[in-house]
Structure 1
């Protein structure tokens, strides 16, 4: 399950991921489905993506435990998220067990074409260097008066960092020390009384 993804100002979106899978045989095979929620994960419905057996497979049937041995046994899949623009969505990868074989998913990426509001958000909040080694300079331009919350979430939606800050109606700067976290993709979320902004950060 992903963290909540704000598509409220997006004009289109795509989910891309790599999959590797080999069915056990013609009668024992598994499936993969992508579900979406527009109510913060309370209920889910199926997207257009649902594959199983040889349609899902990236390698021939294998009665041994499957592990991809080369790049040729991986395939990139894409799911159109445009039908869900205007919403905050949560995505869920659903593995359907049919006593088949191992299924691998990697390199999950979400690409969004944004509208004017998100481009304005890019000037509202700056994070650099990004990608970085875990120490990031955060600058929030004209942070409104009052309490605000900074949090960082991994791709599974787990909160791995949180901090309360106080806006003074002017520019706010701080250093985020995230060097204890594993390398990977995370999302920084800033919640103020006026808005919520989400920005991707990469630790490498």
Structure 2
């Protein structure tokens, strides 16, 4: 699951990002409202965690603009503005959840897992392609019954390829979806992660699941 954190308190943001990353989520961070809104509009996220007291435009404005542009990404507000009026305003503007600061990290993680379960309930949490088994909920990967340990980015890359099996995904598409990067011919981030992913998937096996399509991109074959 991919999360956007919009929080201007950098120490708190680092703490939240570290906890979410260790829990297996991929997290991007923006420190002001304008940058956060732009990031949310041009990238696909499963959840936005939004502070209210932000520079450039506050969290209420970010939320209102998101919904005005018909962006329905789930939003969890985290804020020290904790009176009933602020909570009601946030929910009325389209927030899905409101967590008052200060909060225990365990509670935030529990609320994030609620959205993860809802996302998985809307689709199939298990993907099977030949001898490859991917459990999106548990974030586990097996090949012919053998457990394969992947990093967060490697797992997200495999999940993206698997959910669009047999389709050719371009390098620019993968960069945009996973790293929020515009296409840079000089970047080798995709090649590096694919090399590591292939190495882990193929150790002890002859068949290559992930194939390179010259001048087009990459595909994961289902047959």
Normalising to structure 2: TM-score of the pair? 0.24
* Structure with the bigger percentage of strand: 1
Give 1 or 2 for the bigger CA radius of gyration.
1
Normalising to structure 1: TM-score of the pair? 0.26
Q: Using CA pairs below 8 Å that are at least 6 residues apart, which structure has the higher relative contact order? A: 1
* Structure with the bigger percentage of helix: 2
